[in-house]
A and B are shown apart, each in its own frame.
Chain A
Amino acid sequence: MIELKDVSKSFTLHNQGSAVIPVTEGASFRVAPGECVALTGASGAGKSTLMRVIYGNYLAASGQVLVGGLDVTQAEPREVLALRRETLGYVSQFLRVVPRVPTLEVVAEPLLALGRDRQVALDKAAPLLARLNIPERLWALSPTTFSGGEQQRVNIARGFAHDYPAMLLDEPTASLDVQNRETVLSLIEEAKARGAAIVGIFHDVAARERVCDREINVSEFTPGVAA
């Protein structure tokens, strides 16, 4: 479902003496449907970078990133957008929303963007919020004023609103209490059970061992460090 072939990524900082920072070289792996793969490595090793390269908001310097058959590195913007709407979900660490939009709609939005009926979308969103312990009295409010943990849970609910065949999870259990962590882990297990291919970053070792089938240490792809 997700396949990387010899992907490399470097950053060129034109305004800081054109410094070139190589981050990843020769990254190759594949993730099958129903499989969850953890990216591991020290902070700064390039875990998030690799994840963003898969999502397409970082431009790969070379190589191929195939998600559901589409090469993200070569695709037109509208093809990548369609892929993100239908196939590839991404739960980032931060919630980014339009001010004023109620929480329930924020969560339902991925479904509305797919053209689902409004009521169907809201009916899917509500139980997710309930499972993640967001009190119902907050659903009509914009999440911009919520606490950090609440925002993160809203973000997770939003990420799981549509049954994406491929998902990227950036520290989904960070800073969650025991009960909510448990909910998120079951959401991940349910996604795997329905056949989603998942790539995740988990600093929480117990969570990683519970949901992930294997680990990929991205340090292997860090140029100049091995050897």
Chain B
Amino acid sequence: MKPLLQVKGIEKRYGARIGCTEVSFDLYPGEVMGIVGESGSGKSTLLNCLAGHLEPDAGQVVFDTRADGPMDTVTMSEPARRMLGRTDWAFVHQHARDGLRMSVSAGGNIGERLMAVGDRHYGDIRDKAIDWLGRVEIEATRVDDRPTAFSGGMQQRLQIARNLVTGPRLVFMDEPTGGLDVSVQARLLDLLRGLVREMGLSAIIVTHDLAVVRLLADRLMVMKSGHVVEVGLTDQVLDDPQHAYTQLLVSSVLQV
């Protein structure tokens, strides 16, 4: 099997400070990788470099495109990268507001991404939008409501629907359950797991919640001060952490 994404030596500096450095890994189709670390450890910087939102100072992000095979997305043209962002890639922001158009209806939010890839038939777009609202457990009657009228958890689910409607192969998620109360988190996790399995998605999830990665991620990468300090199978890293920082992280979780 060919890797879907190959990350080679990614580095991002903010002046003299290190954002993240020497990050390399391969992600295979259907794999979910978690990136954990305390705030300021460089995990969001890394995610933004991978997703093309930030330009890394060094390194390659090679994605196996459908048409042309493996291509370095760091050096590809801006339009090509944007096209990827609308089709094979999806980005779920921590704050749903960053990933939604708040003044456009829920159906419009989902439809916009379909139109961006060439869908033109209004009836079809609306049907697909309603289908996706159902999959993320939002009632069809809310299709014409604006996201401003939705709760935080619904906004987050709408954002996920908007992202997944075009059938992406790689989803970047930045703290997808952050800021949601635990019952909504549980629902979202269940939903994400189901979607990942049914659609065969690969995903990279940045979070500081170890319970979230245990449920969602196959593999784990632990970051501290911009460096990757430990990688491995999720349950191995959490059950038998090798690095001092990971041990601290795992032992710091409060038991409920």
Binding site for B on A (CB under 8 A): 11-15, 52, 56-59, 77-78, 80-81, 96, 98-101, 112-113
Residues of chain A with a CB closer than 8 A to B28's CB: 78
Residues of chain A with a CB closer than 8 A to B235's CB: 57
Select B232's contact among A12, A77, A96, beta carbons within 8 Å.
A77
Q: Of all chain A residues, which has the CB nearest B200?
A: A115
Docked-complex contact B240 and A98, CB < 8 angstroms: no
- Among A14, A77, A99, A113, max chain B CB count under 10 A is at A77
What are 17 A-B pairs at a CB distance below 8 A? A14-B247, A15-B244, A52-B239, A56-B236, A57-B233, A57-B235, A58-B236, A59-B240, A59-B242, A78-B28, A78-B218, A98-B186, A98-B189, A100-B186, A100-B187, A100-B190, A101-B190
**B219: CB under 8 A from chain A?**
yes
Docked-complex contact B233 and A80, CB < 8 angstroms: yes
CA distance A119 to B242 in the complex (A): 42
**How many residues on the B side are at the interface (Cβ–Cβ under 8 A)?**
24
Binding site for A on B (CB under 8 A): 28, 31, 186-187, 189-190, 193, 197, 214-215, 218-219, 232-233, 235-236, 239-240, 242-244, 247-248, 251
CA distance A58 to B31 in the complex (A): 21
- Taking A58-B240, A100-B190, A101-B190 as given, write out 6 further A-B residue pairs in contact, using a Cβ cutoff of 8 Å, ordered by the A residue number: A14-B243, A14-B247, A58-B236, A78-B218, A98-B193, A99-B190
Docked-complex contact B218 and A77, CB < 8 angstroms: yes
Q: Which 6 A-B pairs have the closest CB atoms?
A: A14-B244, A99-B186, A57-B235, A58-B240, A77-B233, A77-B219
- Within the complex, the shortest CB–CB distance from A62 to chain B, in Å, comes to 14
Select A58's contact among B215, B218, B239, beta carbons within 8 Å.
B239
Residues of chain A with a CB closer than 8 A to B219's CB: 77-78
Docked-complex contact A57 and B240, CB < 8 angstroms: yes
- Within the complex, the shortest CB–CB distance from A213 to chain B, in Å, comes to 29
Docked-complex contact B190 and A112, CB < 8 angstroms: no
Docked-complex contact B186 and A56, CB < 8 angstroms: no
A-B contact count (CB 8 A): 53
Docked-complex contact A57 and B247, CB < 8 angstroms: no
Q: A58-B236, A113-B197 are in contact. Are A98 and B215 (CB under 8 A)?
A: yes
Docked-complex contact A56 and B247, CB < 8 angstroms: no
Q: A78-B218, A98-B215, A101-B190 are in contact. Are A59 and B247 (CB under 8 A)?
A: no
Residues of chain B with a CB closer than 8 A to A57's CB: 233, 235-236, 239-240
- Within the complex, the shortest CB–CB distance from A8 to chain B, in Å, comes to 14
Residues of chain B with a CB closer than 8 A to A98's CB: 186, 189-190, 193, 215
Q: Of all chain B residues, which has the CB nearest A16?
A: B247
Residues of chain B with a CB closer than 8 A to A81's CB: 218, 233
Residues of chain B with a CB closer than 8 A to A12's CB: 242
- Within the complex, the shortest CB–CB distance from B186 to chain A, in Å, comes to 4
CA distance A57 to B247 in the complex (A): 15
Residues of chain B with a CB closer than 8 A to A13's CB: 247
Residues of chain B with a CB closer than 8 A to A77's CB: 218-219, 232-233
CA distance A52 to B238 in the complex (A): 13
Residues of chain A with a CB closer than 8 A to B186's CB: 98-100
CA distance A96 to B210 in the complex (A): 14
Docked-complex contact A112 and B233, CB < 8 angstroms: no
- Within the complex, the shortest CB–CB distance from B239 to chain A, in Å, comes to 5
CA distance A96 to B232 in the complex (A): 20
Q: A98-B186, A98-B190 are in contact. Are A59 and B197 (CB under 8 A)?
A: no
CA distance A205 to B240 in the complex (A): 30
Residues of chain A with a CB closer than 8 A to B189's CB: 98-99
Docked-complex contact A59 and B236, CB < 8 angstroms: yes
CA distance A112 to B194 in the complex (A): 11
- Within the complex, the shortest CB–CB distance from A76 to chain B, in Å, comes to 9
CA distance A12 to B243 in the complex (A): 9
